[in-house]
Structure 1
Amino acid sequence: MADFFPNVLVFTAYILCSASAATDPGDLSILRDFHDALANPDLLKWPPNDADPCGNSWNYIFCTGDRVTQIEVQKLGLRGNLTRNLNGLTQLTHLGLQKNEFAGPLPSLAGLSSLQYAYFDYNRFDSIPGDFFVGLDSLRIMALDGTV
């Protein structure tokens, strides 16, 4: 019985550390690129020196564990081009970018096999890359109305 309690404490500490794991560095880098490409990033109200959107609940970002699974920034009035590396968010399931003022080319979504919902509608995109739909095996809804 005496050996039981130290093992329980170690296991509990492991679970707590796993639950509050820092955001995947690749995902964090892409979110920073997304932010920096905007003409008005202040509308996101993301903490400037926070490197853990999954652990600290950034506005409009949702995670499972240390991976970004959703970006929901619809109707914020965001302006600018989208970063081209959004398809590096390999665990992304929902992408809600509708009703903003994004412009330029749409980023490729190639390889986002977990993506189920993508809303680009009512923005100012001017082109769609040739590999845009490659590997979207789980896609259920794609909205491009009023974009290109």
Structure 2
Amino acid sequence: MMVETRNYNPYAAFVFFFLFCLLVIDLCCQCRGENPDDTTMYELTRSLYGVPSNWKPQLDPCIWDDVICSRGRVIAINLAQSGIAGCLSLAHGNLTSLTSLQLEFNNICGHLPRLSKLSSLQKIYLQANAFDSIPSGFFIGLSSLQEISLDDLPLTPWSLSQDITSATGLVYFSAINAYVTGLIPDFLGSLSSLHILHLSYNQLTSPLPSTFVGSVLTNLFLDHQQSRDKISG
């Protein structure tokens, strides 16, 4: 009996291996494409100018400079003093695992985006930019917020509203020279974690809230108000 033997074809094996690798790469890209952070980060590259050179759509945002990820999700962005310009995209509010956003000392303009989906966000540093307005209800949803700086922003005059109490763990609040107007609200003295409150160089008026008596505040700046009726009490 004759037994048929087949010759091994190395070229066919190579082609099969090559096609298999392409399939694996494609599946990996599809899996990464399902990450909701990717689209948001790619949108940032289109709305901001001067971002690091490796902020490219063909690269995973988790390997971009100044971006920190955990388990494939973006948890921190630090572009402080980086010469960044442009405007923040509204899509920025979709980075639901973000805990730290540091964009201070740049030239980012336009409206501050709503961040109500960012319940994990703990630190926001936006001072010394060119933002022109802060939306009503800005603090709604920021339940984990501990530190925020809005110093030296040319904002449309705004007042401190009740939605700040959404940040029940707020420790540091600074809005020096940020066009804050009106009375200092009573609820600021009732926040159980607020130790540092900086509101110098604004347009606030008297009186001081009675809730400041017995509050946990350890550092309070209210000097150089530009309003006609200075703070007293």
| Interval of TM-score (by shorter of Structure 1 and Structure 2) | 0.7 to 0.9
Which has the greater radius of gyration? 2
| Partner of residue 30, structure 1 | 40
How many Å apart are 1:24 and its aligned residue?
A: 5.4
How many Å apart are 1:44 and its aligned residue?
A: 1.4
How many Å apart are 1:86 and its aligned residue?
A: 1.2
Q: Of residues 120, 124, 134 in structure 2, which corresponds to 1:118?
A: 124
- Tell me if structure 1 keeps the 8 A contact 2:45–2:56: no
TM-score, normalized by length of structure 1? 0.77
How many positions carry a matched residue from both structures?
124
| C-alpha separation in 2, matches of 1:52 and 1:37 | 18
- Structure-2 change in CA distance of 1:47 and 1:89 (3 Å): closer
Q: Which runs of 5+ in 1 are unaligned?
A: 1-20
How many Å apart are 1:25 and its aligned residue?
A: 2.8
Provide the identity percentage.
35
How many Å apart are 1:130 and its aligned residue?
A: 1.3
Q: Of residues 27, 49, 54 in structure 2, which corresponds to 1:46?
A: 54
- Structure-2 change in CA distance of 1:104 and 1:129 (3 Å): same
| Partner of residue 129, structure 1 | 135
Q: Which runs of 5+ in 2 are unaligned?
A: 1-30, 156-233
1:1-148 aligned at under 5 Å gives the runs 22=32, 25-38=35-48, 40-41=49-50, 43-54=51-62, 57-147=63-153, 148=155
| C-alpha separation in 1, matches of 2:34 and 2:66 | 17
| C-alpha separation in 2, matches of 1:108 and 1:123 | 17
- Structure-2 change in CA distance of 1:141 and 1:23 (3 Å): farther
TM-score, normalized by length of structure 2? 0.50
**Does the residue aligned with 1:44 lie in a helix, a strand or coil?**
coil
- Structure-2 change in CA distance of 1:106 and 1:47 (3 Å): closer
- How far does the alpha carbon of each residue in 1:97-140 deviate from its partner, in whole angstroms, 9 at most, with x for none? 10000001011111211000000100000001113111111100
| C-alpha separation in 2, matches of 1:34 and 1:48 | 10
- Tell me if structure 2 keeps the 8 A contact 1:98–1:122: yes
> Which residue type is aligned with residue 38 of structure 2?
L
**Does the residue aligned with 1:114 lie in a helix, a strand or coil?**
coil
> Which residue type is aligned with residue 54 of structure 2?
W
The higher relative CO (CA closer than 8 Å, separation ≥ 6) is in 1
- Tell me if structure 1 keeps the 8 A contact 2:45–2:55: no
- Structure-2 change in CA distance of 1:24 and 1:64 (3 Å): farther
| C-alpha separation in 2, matches of 1:22 and 1:134 | 30
Coordinate RMSD, CA, aligned: 1.7
| C-alpha separation in 2, matches of 1:24 and 1:127 | 33
